[in-house]
Structure formats: structure tokens, C-alpha cells
């Protein structure tokens, strides 16, 4: 008896000290972050840019639904799979697909952790994003509707996520272009946490090496709302769309200047991709349309239509949108010329369909070949991979092609 107690005490001490080190690292980052000091955290090389082979590859991870690790059981797997299945399978899938696809960037589209299955959001986040942090691949995340159901608010979650190794996530949009304090206030007044924009620059050595030629928009689609006494899902608010229109206009203005300056070079157009969690109501219209992938469950969106689709259409630069939330839907469908794609459920603790493998989406942007060097983005394609033995690739399609769009 004595011996047993001694051992478990020793074990407990070990676990506690490991957790203490983990937390201390992050906590000191947070504290220092508030004081605007530089910290030693592993940061990716910036800016994001296309590779010298003219490609930029994004891995979309939707709905990891991470709990605490080994003790968090899998949902909706076959009976034969249940006994040896936990969050660690989600970790394994993430490691494998990063190794296999070697993405340049990873986009996590919410419900990264399943709040109700963890008593410590920080620990859950560290475990969930662990493979991304270890890989050194730059990554960014938005929140879903379940991330905040544990020990951190949505604002705290985003601050924490933005300080993790190799993370490019931001709690607030950048004030880079804003000079006055009023602008900063305005940016803080935008609804939600995790509205931001990341720019991807041209290939090294090309004439667009110092220009942003692909933009990635991240939006917080919220969690829940009560509309006239009725509970519904969150949605993207007008303040967010207003900010988005401004950013988009800014980029398109810059491109005009660039086109003007370069005269003879082919017209520069920087397409954008958007990432958020909760689908927009128009996705329902795709039920009877030609889609690529599976439409297997009702679209769980808000009862409010805030005009996200109209905004994207009027902006003109958004060519494809990537969402999560409905784990059993993994299709892409086209609305008014813009592709809307689900990631398909990635995590084993999230609901799904037994016998229907967990999956991930890959997005590949390809540059055009100019006479002397790479030009701007010419094509954007996507495909998915299953978490099976061979990480089977399927449903490959083109989302946008500069030549065809002219
Ligand atoms: C989960 O991981 C274990 C251990 O690596 C493996 O044996 C099992 O087949 C995996 N289960 C599923 C459903 O992928
Ligand atoms: C990009 O910026 C770097 C560093 O300022 C400079 O050396 C290079 O010539 C620039 N390239 C182009 C194509 O403008």
C-alpha cells in the first residue's frame, strides 16, 4: 500500500510539473503580450509567400472537437473501432496529413476544441494544435460555436491562440493601415473575436515578390444568438462586413496602382479566400443543385441572413469560402459565381457517421507562368483526403481559373 501511494504521488507530481511548464510558457507570453514586449515564441517566416514552384497549399481542418486527449472517446465510429479510439486519433490524423501534403499554411475553421469535454481550455488548445505547432507550418484559426464552452471566453481563446507557436491568428483586425486612435477604436468595435486578414506574397525572385497576390479573410461567425426570444446560431454581423469591404477596397486600389506602374505586365488581380465556421443560409439552396461532395445533413445556420453572400459578390475578390460546422456535409457548391466548401468533419470526438471516414480539405493556389517569372494567381483547386490507410484523395475540382473568368 505504502509503495503504491508513493508511486502515484510521484506520478501526479510529474504530471503537474509538466502542465505547470506548459502553462507557464503560455502564461508568460500572455502577460508579456499585454505589455507589448517581444517574447521568444516560435514565429513563422513572414510574409507568407508562394513557393518558388509557383504554388501555395492550404490545409483546412474543420471541427477537431478536441477534448482532453486519451480519455476523450470517439463518437460515431464503428463498434469495432470504439475501444481504441480517442482524441489521439485526431492528433494522429493531423500529423499524418501535414506530413503527407506538406501544406504552406493550415486553416482551422472552428470547433477546434469541444468546450464541454474539457475542464481546461488552455490544455485542450495546446493538445489540439500540438501537431501544427510541432510542424512549424504557419497556421491560423477561427472559433466555432463550441470553443468557448469551457474555461475561456471567446476573446481569451483568440488571444491565447494568437500567441501559440507558428500561429498567425489575430484577435482583432490589424491596425497596420490605421494611423489615428479613432481607427483603432473602430477596429475594436467590430463584432466578434478573430476577424482578420492575411496576405500571401508572390514567389521569391518574381516581379510580384513584394506584392500581396492572394488574401485570406478570417471571420468570426459567432456561437449562439437569441432573436426575438428564439435561440439560433451566430452569424456574421454588419460591422464585420463593413470592415471586410474596406479591406477589399484597399487591396483592389493597390492593385490598380501596381497595374498602372507596371504597364506592360498582365493585369494584376488578387483573388481572396474566406474562412469561417457557421454556414450562411443560402447554402440550403444548394440541395438541389450540382455539388461536388456529400450533402447529408441539414444546414445548421442562423435564422438571420445578414447579407454575407451579397457582400462577397459586390466585393468581387472572394472566389471561394471554406466553412465547417456541419460535419456530415463535405461538398462544394457554387452560389452567384463563388464556391462555398465544407471541410467535412476532421475530429473523432465530433459527431459524424460511423463508417464514413474523418476527412480534411486541401486548397491549392497556382501562379501563372509569365515570360520571365511567375505572375499572379491563375488557378485555385481543391480536393479532400480521408483518414484511411492511404489518406485517399478524392473530389478534386477547380474553384477558380483566371482564363475562364475573363
Ligand atoms: C485510432 O488509433 C489507434 C491507435 O493508433 C488505431 O489502432 C485505430 O485504428 C484508430 N481508430 C480509428 C477509427 O482510426
Ligand atoms: C522586394 O524587396 C526587396 C527588399 O526590399 C528588394 O531587394 C527586391 O528588389 C524587391 N523585389 C521586387 C521585385 O520589387
pLDDT tens figures, 253-288? 777 666 665 544 555 679 999 999 999 999 999 999
3-state secondary structure of 129: coil
H or E stretch covering 369:
strand 359-369
Distance of CA 84 to the CA centre of its chain: 28
Distances in Å between the alpha carbon of 399 and those of 149, 195, 312, 344?
A: 35, 24, 15, 17
User: C-alpha grid cell for residue 102?
Assistant: 506538406
* Residue nearest (by alpha carbon) to ligand 1 atom 13: 81
Cβ distance 304 to 227 under 8 Å? yes
Could you identify the atom of ligand 2 that is nearest to the CA of residue 208?
A: 13
CA–CA gap between residue 395 and residue 383 (Å, rounded): 5
Cβ distance 320 to 400 under 8 Å? yes
Q: Does ligand 2 lie within 6 Å of residue 209's CB atom?
A: yes
Edge-to-edge strand order for the sheet containing 393-401?
A: 139-142, 105-109, 55-61, 359-369, 374-386, 393-401
Of 73-82, 180-189, 374-383, least confident by mean pLDDT is 180-189
| pLDDT tops 60 at residue 8 | no
pLDDT of amino acid 35: 39
Question: Phi first, then psi: what are they for 19, rounded to 5°?
Answer: -60, -40
Which residues, other chains included, contact 38 with Cβ-Cβ below 8 Å and sequence gap of 6+?
none
| pLDDT tops 70 at residue 31 | no
pLDDT of amino acid 76: 98
Residues with CB under 6 A from ligand 1: 77, 81, 84-85, 89, 92
pLDDT of amino acid 102: 98
pLDDT of amino acid 9: 47
Q: Does ligand 2 lie within 6 Å of residue 95's CB atom?
A: no
- When comparing pLDDT for 180 and 85, which is higher? 85
Q: Where residue 250 falls among pLDDT bands split at 50, 70, 90?
A: confident
CA–CA gap between residue 213 and residue 218 (Å, rounded): 17
| pLDDT tops 80 at residue 121 | yes
Question: Quick one: the chain helix, strand, coil %, rounded to 5?
Answer: 30, 25, 45
Q: Does ligand 2 lie within 6 Å of residue 262's CB atom?
A: no
Average pLDDT over residues 289-317: 97
Average pLDDT over residues 128-156: 98
Distance of CA 118 to the CA centre of its chain: 21
Average pLDDT over residues 71-88: 97
Q: What mean pLDDT value characterizes the chain?
A: 89
CB neighbours (10 Å) of residue 143?
30
CB neighbours (10 Å) of residue 95?
15
pLDDT tens figures, 319-332? 999 999 999 999 99
Of 113-117, 177-181, 187-191, 364-368, least confident by mean pLDDT is 177-181
pLDDT of amino acid 177: 55
pLDDT of amino acid 188: 82
Q: Please write down the HEC assignment for all residues of 4-72.
A: HHHHHHHHHHHHHHHHHHHHHHHHHHHHHHHCCCCCCCCCCCCCEECCCCCEEEEEEECCCCECCCCCC
Write out the E strands in 163-249: 196-201, 212-218, 224-227, 230-233
pLDDT of amino acid 26: 52
| pLDDT tops 50 at residue 356 | yes
pLDDT > 70 in the chain, percent: 85
Write out the E strands in 190-337: 196-201, 212-218, 224-227, 230-233, 272-275, 318-323, 332-335
3-state secondary structure of 298: coil
- Tell me the CA–centroid distance for residue 177 and ligand 2, in Å: 21
- Tell me the CA–centroid distance for residue 115 and ligand 1, in Å: 23
pLDDT of amino acid 166: 98
Q: Where residue 16 falls among pLDDT bands split at 50, 70, 90?
A: very low
Amino acid at each position: 500500500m505504502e509503495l503504491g501511494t508513493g508511486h502515484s504521488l510521484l506520478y501526479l507530481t510529474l504530471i503537474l510539473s509538466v502542465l505547470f511548464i506548459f502553462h507557464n510558457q503560455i502564461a508568460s507570453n500572455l502577460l508579456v503580450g499585454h505589455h507589448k514586449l517581444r517574447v521568444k515564441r516560435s514565429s513563422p517566416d513572414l510574409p507568407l509567400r508562394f513557393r518558388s514552384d509557383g504554388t501555395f497549399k492550404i490545409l483546412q481542418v474543420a471541427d477537431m472537437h478536441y477534448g482532453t486527449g486519451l480519455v476523450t472517446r470517439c463518437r460515431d465510429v464503428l463498434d469495432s473501432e470504439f475501444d481504441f479510439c480517442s482524441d489521439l486519433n485526431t492528433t494522429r490524423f493531423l500529423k499524418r496529413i501535414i506530413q503527407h501534403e506538406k501544406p504552406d499554411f493550415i486553416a482551422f475553421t472552428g470547433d477546434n476544441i469541444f468546450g464541454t469535454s474539457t475542464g481546461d481550455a488552455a490544455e485542450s488548445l495546446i493538445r489540439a494544435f500540438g501537431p501544427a505547432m510541432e510542424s512549424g507550418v504557419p497556421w491560423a484559426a477561427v472559433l466555432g460555436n463550441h470553443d468557448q464552452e469551457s474555461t475561456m471566453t471567446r476573446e481569451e481563446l483568440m488571444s491565447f491562440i494568437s500567441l501559440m507557436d507558428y500561429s498567425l491568428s489575430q484577435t482583432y483586425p490589424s491596425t497596420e493601415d490605421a494611423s489615428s486612435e479613432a481607427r483603432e477604436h473602430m477596429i475594436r468595435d467590430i463584432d466578434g473575436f478573430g476577424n482578420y486578414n492575411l496576405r500571401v506574397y508572390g514567389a521569391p525572385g518574381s516581379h510580384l515578390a513584394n506584392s500581396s497576390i492572394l488574401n485570406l479573410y478570417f471571420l468570426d461567425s459567432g456561437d449562439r444568438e437569441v432573436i426575438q426570444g428564439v435561440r439560433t446560431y451566430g452569424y456574421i454581423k454588419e460591422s464585420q462586413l463593413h470592415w471586410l469591404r474596406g479591406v477589399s477596397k484597399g487591396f483592389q486600389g493597390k492593385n490598380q496602382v501596381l497595374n498602372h506602374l507596371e504597364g506592360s505586365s498582365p493585369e494584376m488581380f488578387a483573388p481572396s479566400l474566406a474562412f469561417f465556421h457557421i454556414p450562411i443560409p443560402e447554402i440550403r439552396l444548394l440541395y438541389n443543385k450540382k455539388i461536388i461532395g456529400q450533402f447529408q445533413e441539414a444546414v445548421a445556420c442562423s435564422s438571420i441572413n445578414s447579407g454575407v453572400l451579397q457582400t462577397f459578390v459586390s466585393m468581387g475578390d472572394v472566389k471561394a469560402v471554406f466553412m465547417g460546422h456541419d460535419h456530415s456535409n463535405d461538398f462544394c457548391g457554387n452560389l452567384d459565381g463563388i464556391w462555398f466548401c465544407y471541410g467535412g468533419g476532421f475530429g473523432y470526438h465530433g459527431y459524424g457517421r460511423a463508417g464514413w471516414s474523418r476527412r480534411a480539405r486541401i486548397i491549392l493556389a497556382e501562379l501563372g507562368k509569365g515570360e520571365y517569372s511567375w505572375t499572379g494567381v491563375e488557378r485555385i483547386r481543391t480536393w479532400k483526403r480521408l483518414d484511411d490507410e492511404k489518406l485517399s484523395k478524392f473530389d478534386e475540382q477547380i474553384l477558380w481559373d483566371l482564363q475562364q473568368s475573363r
